[in-house]
Amino acid sequence: MPDKQFILRNIDEVHFEVTAQCNLKCKYCYAEPYEAGSKDNFMRIDTVKKTIDLLSEYSQKQHIEIIFHGGEPLLQNPTWFDECCNYVTEKFTLKNKNYSFGLQTNNILLNTEFIEVFLKHNINVGVSLDGTEKIHNQFRGGFNKTIKNIKLLENSKLFSGVISVISHHNFDKISEIFQEFYNQGFSHFSINIASAVGNGQFSEPLSAEQIFNIYEQDYINLLKYDGKIVEFRLIERIRRHFEAPDKENILTQLRCDNPFCHAGSNMIFIKVNEDLFPCGSAGSSGKIENFKLGNLSEPLSKQDYYTVLKRFHQKTDKYIMECQNCKAKYFCEHGCPAFDFTDPITTENKCIANKQFVNFLNKEPKENINKLLSYKL
């Protein structure tokens, strides 16, 4: 089997760095600060076409997920998305492949022209929102526009939900976040505890105690709101703790929150300059040259690709010696290969908090756990 075919045979998700540029400067952003004045700031349509041609030819997967990421993807022109999606539709239809589109944005620049294109191609949009106006504007900015444009997405049925990054501005405000999102009429959201990487690499990692409090407050609010608003991530982790999946189950559900993720094996990230990385995190922060898998304009080498990928997913002695016997081993996400390289402290603090929280969970009444696991996700 040719190297290209072998490497791409299992890819069912591709993330495009539409641009490395962003209209915000979030203090915790996982991406390195964008260098003003850099050339080739925006992805060329040819880069998308080249990627789609490769996947169309070599991926054995029936369904391919295409995700537009950044930087801030809405800095690109709506017609760019239209042309890209037209090409995807044409190529994948010819190959009888299914496909779907997603886009992650701060939502400030959304307008009716984007909506028109997104509706045409059914591009589902996820929005970053950190809580109340005061919380959100402390580290991000543009709360009012973000909220106003979420309504546009909701009215068009294109709204996928909210990712809420938890850092020093909101780790102790989980109740306010639930209240705000409930008031906004959201049915669900997902929290993401920031690592000290990228733009946030010089900030203090959250402590184990702070992380435990996030889990505890998340849990308390999940019960309080009785399924009317659901934070996905904690529920899934609690489910895994109590259901204890077997190895095969873990290896066939490769995702960001699993002991082994899908980066590089099922998904690839394409940068503006056509470099190929296991995921957006690996291609946007830390010493990214360590995790470069190749470039679209050069021949892909199976040996080079898997040498880097194996190193990327390499586990520590701790995983081998301690995690197997840890009571939190299913609740734990076991770090992030991309972030841990730059910030090993957050993962260690999560490790301590995970064990504490599992102790807490194990003492909780069964009816509470069952109630929480019955929420519709």
Within 10 Å of residue 230's Cβ, how many Cβ atoms?
23
**Contact partners, residue 63, CB within 8 Å, separation at least 6:** 12, 97, 98, 99, 100
Max CA-CA distance within the chain? 58
In terms of CB distance, is 292 or 313 closer to other proteins?
Answer: 313
Q: Among 42-50, 207-215, 293-301, 307-315, which window interacts with other proteins (CB under 8 A)? A: 307-315
Q: Contact between 342 and other proteins (CB under 8 A)?
A: no
| Residue 153 beta carbon to other proteins: minimum distance, rounded to whole angstroms | 12
Of 76-135, which residues contact other proteins (CB under 8 A)? 98, 100-104, 124-126, 128
Number of residues near other proteins (by CB under 8 A): 79
Q: Contact between 138 and other proteins (CB under 8 A)?
A: no
Cβ–Cβ < 8 Å for 369, 342: no
In terms of CB distance, is 228 or 311 closer to other proteins?
Answer: 311
Q: Contact between 12 and other proteins (CB under 8 A)?
A: yes
Residue 156, classed as helix, strand or coil, is coil
Cβ–Cβ < 8 Å for 146, 104: no
In terms of CB distance, is 25 or 46 closer to other proteins?
Answer: 25
Give, in degrees to the nearest 5, the angle at Cα 100 between 99 and 105: 150
Residue from 75, 109, 220, 254 that binds other proteins (CB under 8 A)? 254
Of 13-32, which residues contact other proteins (CB under 8 A)? 13, 26, 28-30
Which phi and psi (to 5°) does residue 171 adopt? -60, -25
| Residue 331 beta carbon to other proteins: minimum distance, rounded to whole angstroms | 12
Alpha-carbon distance of 12 to 262, in angstroms, equals 10
| Residue 201 beta carbon to other proteins: minimum distance, rounded to whole angstroms | 14
In terms of CB distance, is 210 or 281 closer to other proteins?
Answer: 281
Of 187-246, which residues contact other proteins (CB under 8 A)? 190, 192, 194-195, 232-233, 236, 244-246
Residue 227, classed as helix, strand or coil, is coil
Cβ–Cβ < 8 Å for 255, 267: no
Q: Contact between 253 and other proteins (CB under 8 A)?
A: yes
Counting Cβ atoms within 10 Å, is residue 40 exposed (0-12), middle (13-18) or buried (19+)? exposed
Residue from 45, 75, 109, 323 that binds other proteins (CB under 8 A)? 323
| Residue 355 beta carbon to other proteins: minimum distance, rounded to whole angstroms | 5
Counting Cβ atoms within 10 Å, is residue 121 exposed (0-12), middle (13-18) or buried (19+)? middle
| Residue 358 beta carbon to other proteins: minimum distance, rounded to whole angstroms | 10
In terms of CB distance, is 37 or 202 closer to other proteins?
Answer: 202
Q: Among 47-55, 60-68, 172-180, 287-295, which window interacts with other proteins (CB under 8 A)? A: 60-68
Residue 159, classed as helix, strand or coil, is strand
Q: Are strands 123-128 and 159-166 parallel, antiparallel or unpaired?
A: parallel
Site string for other proteins, 142-181 (x = CB under 8 A): ------------------xx-x-x----------------
